[in-house]
A and B are shown apart, each in its own frame.
Chain A
């Protein structure tokens, strides 16, 4: 098991005015698994992702990656951890406007000792798979949203992390770019055997994953595994669960 989280709790506010966002969540993620987290607004899905990805601290509980509990790590160890094991994709891309696409993608490689040739090879392979090789010299301001998100994905993959955390990666994209991106993620997930944990409110996006975990009010409501289902059937299953979960589908954001 790659990631194992037990009894995750997260609350905000002070002693007298506490809001519990996560109320004790257990989650496991196997190597090479692609898992989506869904839930209505305010169900705590982004908070869960932040906590699992070490961006935010937990209030209670433990998170192990490869058997190491990182909730107790100090800054330096934690940084090493992110450097080697984790990759991130955000809804708003988080690219640096002052660096070219290539430079943005290479950023994670720049803080480790890697020969220039090796780095080039990595870049060529990832950029090739994501279909952005021809954009290498462009600046983020000059490319489309879909291309920017693929750049962001390339950056997340380039150092071959164990897990990639994606927070609504398709949130700002049109459906064509979104499905393009998800297909690429799916491909990379298969070829590199990298685990992906993705938060989304979009059933289509979720239908690309192996497993969907539904959150409700800070707790796991249920989960769905694709198994041998076709993607279409899986998609309908997800929609049904979402409907049961509460509210109309359209409201789920």
Chain B
């Protein structure tokens, strides 16, 4: 019986423990490979990036995936090699030298990595097509996809994995070099849960950690408002918020959690039940020793949820954004141009709804409520005023006004709330005040005519009154006052656009074109960010799972004792379930809270809807994340069942 035989046998029987690890590896290779294939496949790339040159985004995505994979693999490797110290020590005892042991590790890792590499590339080849279809679906591009196996992508993937392999081997080498035999033999006897009593300092820090996070949250909510007053401060605010929350998170894991759990423990006054033994007392110390890891996981969870939420907000808001900024199918510059296109389209059998509207620019007195920015202390700002007689669907009473085209991001400059008074002024004494009775996100003018500002619809009588008191125009150029637009009866489509899209035809802006550009841009962004988020979710979930396996093996003895004391499997598992909730829940909740506040502080830059897309992202993340908690619980169940 040769050594390699035995080692292989040992490895194969250990494979059970490696199962999830190998799965995660294969999956990360597959993700990386398919992302790479998409980047390299010229046909696919051309289709994807015709209007949006975003190859760079894909490259950034791939690099990030590689970094995630490297960190994950290194961490998992460390857990596994520590887990196996007993075996490694035994090998040394029977007279293997370190080089030989290193050779064994090399062989094992070789099998794992290159096995997963091949598996991952195969899987990646299949899912790359799926992913491309998904991407095109997200970007709302209709196209049949043909994917070819890309040897270049396979080569790059292989190269990256060889690199990771080398890094791992260095890590293993250093571990072997640094740990003496006596240390390895004793490793299983020193558990990380050497409980130091909770001192006063812990309490102080525990409270400080929570306060720091709270302060960070508070600052994040007022950041943009303050930054409007003093833009130079924005980066300073951002850095201090990051600093506060990240350090606060670390201290929370290091001290606050232990401190809070200790209070729970104290409140029981010695009457700990089985749930407490298995969850509170166990987690309390483990959290402390894993504070750094948990901080990293919580922070990156927060970053990825935030990024996913924001990109999804953009994607999700596209339609509403267009309703607000580009309300008509086509906009041109004169009646003649509408005539031109009407003729053109009628020939092809398309009917159009013509829109020729007039409106005017008028001054609105600034008040504390409606103007956030000190616009050089202007007493009034120019906004577009429209008559309810001109625009369909409006019926505004004489002393009222409806505000259209409001967007969250505009609130930082001008904001009108229902009930606010609005005073029109010609800056020479004429004033007319009406009350805002309705605000809506939909716009009635394209953004380039309203300068991106809200448009106020007033009663025709008021409109006429204002028109009589036109202030003298002091602008350097004529303000636009006419809208020439048309909608396609029965809905616009790509064919109409292509009919009109000709260099010889008069210029126009098209809603469908703008829609495609926006949706492709935001779709691709959402796709890549989602992709990275998923890779991260997978790896961080695995790491927490491995940690739990590790703890489970350490605590095997306790389950045996508990069962000998007469506790049933169910009772023990209930306690362990509580432990899972704490161990997985706390990093998740902190991550979710961080991202919620991060999203809240700046979402309006990205779109119109916040809650729905954010909650969808968070919900999906939580569900997928919980799978790892359930898997850990499953592992515990197996161990508890076999413990006696």
The answer on A and B forming one complex is yes
0 or 1 for each of A20-56: is its CB under 8 Å from B? (1 = yes): 0000000000000000000000000000001000111
| Contact (A110, B9) CB under 8 Å given A80-B95, A94-B90 | no
Interface residues of A in 193-224 (CB under 8 A from B): none
Please, which residue of chain A has its CB at the minimum distance from the CB of B101?
A79
The answer to whether B1 touches A55, judged by C-beta atoms less than 8 angstroms apart, is: no
Inter-chain contact A55/B182, CB cutoff 8 Å: yes
- Asked whether, in the complex, the Cβ of A110 is within 8 Å of the Cβ of B95, the reply is no
Query: Smallest CB–CB gap between A10 and chain B, Å?
Result: 11
User: What CA separation (Å) do A106 and B94 show in the bound complex?
Assistant: 11
| B190 contacts chain A at the CB level, 8 A cutoff | no
> Is residue A121 within 8 Å, beta carbon to beta carbon, of the partner chain?
no
> In whole angstroms, what is the CA distance A79 to B88 when docked?
13
Q: A81 at the A/B interface (Cβ < 8 Å)?
A: yes
| CB atoms of B90 and A107 under 8 A apart | yes
Chain A residues whose C-beta falls within 8 Å of the C-beta of B99 in the assembled complex:
76
Q: How far is the CA of A54 from the CA of B95 in the complex (A)?
A: 11
In the bound complex, residues from chain B placing their C-beta under 8 Å from that of A54 are 181
**Bound: A55/B94 CA distance, A:** 11
The answer to the question of B240 belonging to the interface, with a C-beta cut-off of 8 Å to chain A, is no
Contact B95 A108 (CB under 8 A): yes
Number of chain B residues whose Cβ lies closer than 8 Å to a Cβ of chain A: 26
A79-B92, A83-B96, A107-B94 as given contacts; A99 in contact with B180, CB under 8 Å: no
Q: How distant is the Cα of A54 from the Cα of B97 in the complex, in angstroms?
A: 13
Query: Whose C-beta in chain A lies nearest to the C-beta of B17?
Result: A98
Task: List the B residue with the shortest CB-CB distance to A119.
Answer: B1
* A98 and B95 contacting across the interface, CB-CB below 8 Å: no
Give the distance to chain A from B8, nearest Cβ to Cβ, in Å: 11
Q: Which residues of A contact B10 (CB under 8 A)?
A: 96, 98-99
B92 x A96 contact (CB < 8 A) = no
Please encode chain B, from 279 to 290, with 1 for each CB lying within 8 Å of some chain A CB and 0 for all others.
Answer: 000000000000
> What is the total number of residues of chain A having a CB less than 8 Å from a CB of chain B?
31
A111 CB within 8 Å of chain B: yes
Query: Is A57 interfacial (CB-CB < 8 Å)?
Result: yes
Instruction: Give chain B interface residues in 1-50, CB to chain A under 8 Å.
Output: 1-3, 5-6, 9-10, 13-14
**CB of B578 closer than 8 Å to a CB of A:** no
**Is A79 a contact partner of B96 (Cβ separation < 8 A)?**
yes
A82 located at the interface, meaning its Cβ lies under 8 Å from any Cβ of chain B in the complex: yes
CB nearest neighbor in A for B12: A98
Chain A residues with Cβ below 8 Å from B185 are: 55
Query: Is A237 among interface residues, defined by CB-CB distance under 8 A?
Result: no
Output the least CB separation between B307 and chain A (Å): 42
B552 to chain A, nearest CB (A): 15
Knowing A96-B87, A96-B90, the reply to whether A80 touches B6 (Cβ < 8 A) is: no
Q: Is B100 an interface residue (CB 8 A)?
A: yes
Inter-chain contact B1/A106, CB cutoff 8 Å: yes
Q: Which chain A residue has the least Cβ–Cβ distance from B16?
A: A98
The answer to whether residues A79 and B1 also contact, given A55-B185, A103-B9 and a CB cut-off of 8 A, is no
A109 within 8 A of partner (CB): yes
Q: Is A157 an interface residue (CB 8 A)?
A: no
Q: Total contacts A to B, CB within 8 angstroms?
A: 77
In the complex, B83 has a CB within 8 A of chain A = no
Q: Contacts A55-B185, A75-B98, A79-B95 given; indicate if A111 touches B9 (C-beta within 8 A).
A: no
Q: Which residues of B contact A108 (CB under 8 A)?
A: 94-95
The answer to whether B86 has its CB under 8 Å from any CB of chain A is: yes
Residue of A nearest to B5 (CB): A110
Residue interface mask A61-101, B partner, CB < 8 A = 1: 00000000000000110111111101010000010101100
Q: Does A116 contact B (CB under 8 A)?
A: yes
- Distance (whole angstroms) from the CB of B90 to the closest CB of chain A: 6
Q: Is B198 in contact with chain A by the CB < 8 A criterion?
A: no
Interface string of B93-128 (1 = CB under 8 A from A): 111111110000000000000000000000000000
**Cα distance, A103 to B96, chains bound together (Å):** 16
Q: B13: nearest residue on chain A (CB-CB)?
A: A98
Contact B3 A111, beta carbon cutoff 8 Å: yes
Shortest Cβ gap from A68 to chain B (Å): 15
Please state if B92 and A50 are interface contacts (CB–CB under 8 Å).
no
Complex formed: what's the CA distance from A249 to B20 in Å? 51
Give the secondary structure class of A's interface: helix
Please tell me if the beta carbons of A57 and B180 are within 8 angstroms of each other in the complex: yes
Q: A96-B87, A98-B14, A107-B90 are in contact. Are A79 and B97 (CB under 8 A)?
A: yes
Considering the chains assembled together, what is the distance between the CA atoms of A75 and B180 in angstroms?
A: 10
A79 CA / B181 CA spacing, docked (Å): 11
- Given A79, A99, A103, which contacts B100 in the complex, CB threshold below 8 Å? A79
Bound-complex Cα distance A107 to B87 (A): 11
Contact of B2 among A82, A84, A99, A110 (CB under 8 A): A110
- Closest CB of chain A to B31's CB: distance in Å? 31
Distance of A11 from chain B, by nearest CB (Å)? 14
A198 vs B99: C-alpha distance when bound (angstroms):
30
Asked if B9 and A99 sit within 8 Å, CB to CB, the answer is yes
- Which B319-343 residues have a C-beta within 8 angstroms of A? none
* Contact among A56, A82, A155, A159 for B92, CB-based, below 8 A: A82
With both chains docked as a complex, state the minimum distance between the C-beta of B180 and any C-beta of chain A, in angstroms.
7
| CB within 8 Å for A80 and B97 given contacts A55-B182, A56-B181, A103-B1 | yes
**Residue interface mask B168-189, A partner, CB < 8 A = 1:** 0000000000001110010000
For window 139-154 of A, CB contacts with B under 8 Å fall at none
Q: Which residue on A lies nearest to B90, using beta carbons?
A: A94
- The CA-CA distance from A16 to B185 in the complex, in Å, is 27
Distance (whole angstroms) from the CB of B89 to the closest CB of chain A: 8
CA distance A109 to B1 in the complex (A): 8
Q: How far is the CA of A159 from the CA of B93 in the complex (A)?
A: 13
Q: Closest CB of chain A to B640's CB: distance in Å?
A: 15
Residues of B contacting A96 with CB < 8 Å?
10, 86-87, 90
Residues of chain B within 8 A of A50, CB atoms compared: 182
Residues of chain A contacted by B93 (CB below 8 angstroms): 55, 82, 86, 88, 94
B98 close to A79 (CB less than 8 A): yes
| Min CB gap A246→B, angstroms | 26
Cα A159 to Cα B95 with chains together (Å): 11
Take A57-B180, A107-B6, A111-B100 as given contacts and tell me if A82 and B1 are in contact as well, using a CB distance cutoff of 8 Å: no
Say yes or no: A110 contacts B6, CB within 8 Å.
yes
Q: A57-B180, A103-B1, A110-B1 are in contact. Are A82 and B94 (CB under 8 A)?
A: yes
What separation, in Å, do the CA atoms of A61 and B13 have in the docked complex? 43
CB interface residues, A 109-161, toward B, < 8 Å: 109-111, 116, 119, 155, 159
Q: How far is the CA of A225 from the CA of B634 in the complex (A)?
A: 56
Interchain CA distance A88-B94 in the complex, whole Å: 8
Contacts of B94 in A (CB 8 A): 82-83, 107-108, 111, 155, 159
- In the complex formed, the residue of B with least CB distance to A90 is B185
* Chain A minimum-CB-distance residue to B181: A55
Is B6 a contact of A99 with CB atoms below 8 Å? yes
Closest CB-CB distance, B621 to chain A, in whole Å?
36
Q: Nearest chain B CB to A126's CB is how many angstroms away?
A: 14
User: In the complex, what's the smallest C-beta–C-beta distance from B449 to chain A, in angstroms?
Assistant: 75
Chain B residue nearest to A110 in the complex (CB): B3
Bound-state Cα–Cα, A108 to B6, Å: 11
- Which residues of A sit under 8 angstroms from B97, Cβ to Cβ? 75-76, 78-80
Give residues 157-206 of B contacting A (CB, 8 Å). Answer: 180-182, 185
CB<8 Å pairs between A and B, sample of 5: A50-B182, A55-B93, A81-B95, A94-B90, A103-B1
Apart from the given pairs A55-B185, A82-B94, A110-B6, 13 other A-B contacts in the complex at a CB distance below 8 Å: A56-B181, A57-B182, A75-B97, A76-B99, A79-B96, A80-B97, A82-B95, A99-B10, A106-B1, A106-B6, A108-B95, A111-B3, A111-B95
The 8 tightest CB contacts between A and B, nearest first, are A83-B95, A79-B97, A98-B13, A82-B95, A110-B3, A108-B94, A56-B182, A76-B97
